[in-house]
Amino acid sequence: MPSPNSYWLISAPLEGSGPHELHSQVTHTLLNSSGSSSGIVPSCISPPIDLPPLRVGTLASLINLSETLPKSDASAQAILGKIRETLSSLLNDDPAQLAQHTLVKEGTVDDYVLGGWSWNGGKYRVEQDLPDLVAGLEREVQSIDGVMKQKLQNYNVAKGQLQQLQRKKTGNLSVRSLADVVHKDDFVSGDSEFLETLLVAVPRNNVKEWLTKYERLTQLVVPRSSKKLSEDDEYALFNVTVFKKVKDEFAQKARESRFQVREFRWEDDVVEKSRQELDDAGTSEKELWSELLRLSRTNFSECYQVLVHIKLVRLFVESVLRYGLPADYYAVAIKPNPKKVKGLTTALSSYFASLEGRSTRSKKQNGKGKAKDSGNGEVPGEYASLLEEELLPFVSIEVPLGVGGEE
């Protein structure tokens, strides 16, 4: 049974009926199956879809396409899903915001699929062979995916840098920036040839140990040079002055005692530099966020359009393989009422019941499966056997609704 959370693209041979006449009958069937008298909103149906005059090619190429198109379809849907996930993440999983950005040609997905869909002949030339047409659609999807991956990577790098700087502003004294914690007077002169002041984050439970131990961690530590500069819930920050030549040894001995020497060098404009670095990172992140949002919105629309074109090619190929030539089919898009899917499926199957066995009729007539002239509109017997497992008498291809979670 088709999914209740997708559009259904269905097709069936016209068999002498006009598309609008058949459409009127199908619409009547749909409304009756929805039980409009029950107060439940009936399913939605599009106007008849004009299938383009695609080049049929050989039977072998059609069979090959019927096997490869589902993979192209699945790949396009996966890429569309990634774009949607990116949008959702950028918009903090806000469904209302997501609905405003998952648009197709600046309209809703419903408008695009149900509002009178037509093949984009200017972009996707139907004069070319079907395998070449499908290959072009696949390349477009992959190109969209490549651009999205690069832009997403750029944004994630900028976001990571900003988060790292923000953690330095808000974390404890073992990780946060010390630019706005210490002062110039806490350091020996930067012109000193032999001495250097280090900053050490000491766990609060180890402060007494630090005070009794720091002078003996190595030689050449200036006595009574350490004082507490700041404190938070986890750490106390101390300075200590040592001879430059024992700096690395002192840092190693401090780590062994769980004292963390912070990398920091005083500069007169250190506070301003730290603030400017954070501002620049924030500006860069916002710019890339806006660029990624615009690109994701655009590429959602572009990818969805390519996906629907792939779906229509699948619908065409499966229709030709099942019903034969000439390719004179009725096609329509339906958005089912999720509460009435079983009734709708039953009603459509009943309406198109005369098509059951259509795909195997040529096999019985042609003996061992030798195909008649395709112009007679009959399916070659060698392929008819593959269709005996079809559950529905009409061809049905599902299209994702395009809104998060509604695949």
CATH of the domain at 368: 1.20.1460.10
| pTM (two decimals) | 0.78
Last residue of a domain, one of 213, 231, 265: 265
Last residue of a domain, one of 265, 293, 327: 265
**Calpha distance 224→218 (Å, rounded):** 14
> What integer pLDDT is reported at residue 365 of this predicted model?
38
Residue 104 φ/ψ, nearest 5 degrees: -125, 120
Residues 231 and 307 in one domain: no
Residues 301 and 261 in one domain: no
pLDDT at 18 over 90: no
**What DSSP element (H or E) covers 229?**
strand 227-231
Which of 5-19, 257-271, 325-339, 369-383 shows the lowest mean pLDDT across its residues?
369-383
Q: Would you say 107 and 287 are in contact if contact means Cβ atoms under 8 Å apart? A: no
- Is 376 part of a structural domain of the chain? yes
Those residues whose C-beta lies under 8 Å from the C-beta of residue 404, and which sit 6 or more positions away, are 84, 88, 95, 98, 102
From the DSSP assignment, how many helices (H) and strands (E) are in the chain? 11, 8
Residues 221 and 290 in one domain: no
Q: How far is CA 391 from CA 43, 175, 334, 345, 395, in A?
A: 21, 63, 18, 11, 10
Residues 10 and 132 in one domain: yes
- Is 407 part of a structural domain of the chain? no
Can you tell me the mean pLDDT for 317-336? 93
**What DSSP element (H or E) covers 248?**
helix 247-256
Residues 141 and 29 in one domain: yes
Geometric angle at alpha carbon 118, from 114 and 122, rounded to 5°: 145
Q: What pLDDT, in 10s, does the model give residues 183-230?
A: 989 999 777 889 999 999 999 999 999 999 999 999 999 999 999 999
Interior/surface letters 351-388, b for 16+ CB within 10 angstroms, e for the rest: bbeebeebbbebbeebeeeebeebeebbbbbbbbeebe
- Is 138 part of a structural domain of the chain? yes
> What integer pLDDT is reported at residue 160 of this predicted model?
96
> What integer pLDDT is reported at residue 359 of this predicted model?
56
Last residue of a domain, one of 265, 294, 315: 265
- Its domain, for residue 248, covers 184-265
Which of 36-40, 165-169, 183-187 shows the lowest mean pLDDT across its residues?
36-40
pLDDT at 406 over 60: no
